[in-house]
Amino acid sequence: MTIVYSTLFSVQFNSLPPIKPVTKTTFPYLPSSTLHCSNKRDFPLPAVSSIPYPSINEDYLQSQFSGHGVTFSAIGDSCVVRMGLENGSVATLMLPSGLITSYKAPMWHGSTLELLHTSVSEGVSGGAVIQGGVSLDFKCESEEKVSWSPSAWALHQVRGSPQEYTQVELISSNSEHMVEVKHIVTLQQDLLSSEIVISNSQPTSLCLRGSVISHLIVSTPEATYAVGLEGSDFFSRPPVWSNFSIIPPDFDKRKGLGSKNLWDPMAFRELLSGWGGVRDQNNADDVERIEKATDEELEGEEKENYKNLTEKMSRIYTSAPRNFTIIDRGRRNSIEVGRKGFNELYMFSPGSSYDWYGKFAYICIGQSALLEPIILQPNGEWRGGQQLENPNL
């Protein structure tokens, strides 16, 4: 398989009403929630699996949305949107997939540095598979167990100026237009933020699960540290698999939870169920004990404030602070990660057994609702967000 690492792709979208530039750790576009929570161009560009994307009219986008620091470029059936500021900050994303593929930020040494990890590889059918960057992975399920996920995005608005900030708004809705998701991407001089607004116009409640997932480029996880998570409770869980996830092929989907080999209670249940007879109750007791022991092993509390990410790790933190820092000593930079509206923090490290600056030289961060869903009431609205701040100016 041919691998190309690319910061080429970029997309932009329009914004909500006028805003002021945000400060370091605030989300000016995120009013309090009304919801309650419950327990290289060489390849043809891809479409998300089995999802028919609408065609993109570059001329229309140029005529309606050009300016504000935003430019558009057509590639095949897709469009690359570039957001740029005069201080050198640049973000790019793609339509209609909505994938943010690049965020280049100015550094203390005077040049810019790519902060997102994106890869382009040739798929089995000869098309391109684009992964990494910043993506949304949400599942909206009704009380009737009918589910829908936003995947095809349309450009709704663009706002701002290259001197201060550029903001674009993407929108996606289900076939009945009863569930609507907005993704508002804002580039400012020292940060890139994503705001998600989900509206439920159905007469019944909506169960939301998912994440805003960011692949942050690093020299190697061995030289990378997460600062500020000490005392946070976590659960070890398998990696989040989506159309845009980059997961090493040897990172087992069921057992890749860290450096330990964990017993799988379901495998034991299947094995013991074949023994039958008078031992059924004993088998049930054995499985219960195994499940309890496994649950205890999967739970933990972060003991380190300056945590080295060299080991394989896939965790969901349930009490992490709203802001923490990722430091890469190899690239001599850091990035501050903030969230709002989400109660969980997903963190994945592929470990340090791969090449420096290679395909698996990244850390995955997700602002999430995975363990505990968000329940959106009829005619309700929920807002959540993430910001990636560059403190290296």
Q: Does residue 269 fall inside a structural domain? A: no
Confidence band for 58, pLDDT divided at 50, 70 and 90: confident
pLDDT digits over 262-277, tens only?
A: 334 444 344 344 444 4
Helix (H, G, I), strand (E, B) or coil at 221: helix
Q: Does residue 294 fall inside a structural domain? A: no
- Placement of tokens 């990696």 in the chain: 239
Max avg pLDDT among 3-17, 108-122, 240-254? 108-122
Q: Does residue 226 fall inside a structural domain? A: yes
What is the rounded end-to-end Cα distance, in angstroms, of the chain? Answer: 38
CA–CA separation, 328 and 221 (whole Å): 8
Tokens of residue 358, six digits: 């290679």
pLDDT digits over 317-371, tens only?
A: 999 999 999 999 999 999 999 999 999 999 999 999 888 988 999 999 999 999 9
Rounded to 5°, angle at Cα 196 from 246 and 92? 55
Q: How many domains, the chain?
A: 1
Q: What percent of the chain has pLDDT over 90?
A: 59
- Tell me, what CATH number does 42's domain have? 2.70.98.10
Other beta carbons within 10 angstroms of residue 119's beta carbon come to 20
What is the model's pTM? 0.77
**Residue 87 domain boundaries:** 3-260+304-389
CA–CA separation, 47 and 342 (whole Å): 28
Q: How does DSSP assign 261-277, residue by residue? A: PPP-HHHHHHHHHTT-G
Helix (H, G, I), strand (E, B) or coil at 170: strand
Q: Does residue 33 fall inside a structural domain? A: yes
DSSP label of 67: B
Q: Does residue 308 fall inside a structural domain? A: yes
CA–CA separation, 239 and 251 (whole Å): 9
Output the pLDDT for position 274: 43
Q: What percent of the chain has pLDDT over 70?
A: 74
Is the separation of the CB atoms in 65 and 71 below 8 Å? no
Confidence band for 2, pLDDT divided at 50, 70 and 90: very low
CA–CA separation, 325 and 105 (whole Å): 16
| pLDDT at residue 281 tops 80 | no
| Average pLDDT rounded to a whole number, residues 63-78 | 85
Q: Does residue 255 fall inside a structural domain? A: yes
Output the pLDDT for position 139: 95
Q: Compute the CA torsion angle 180, 78, 84, 101 (nearest 10 deg).
A: 80
Q: Does residue 274 fall inside a structural domain? A: no
Rounded to 5°, angle at Cα 216 from 153 and 225? 150
Lowest mean pLDDT among 119-123, 186-190, 243-247, 359-363: 119-123
Confidence band for 102, pLDDT divided at 50, 70 and 90: very high
pLDDT digits over 203-222, tens only?
A: 999 999 999 999 999 999 99
Output the pLDDT for position 284: 55
Q: Does residue 95 fall inside a structural domain? A: yes
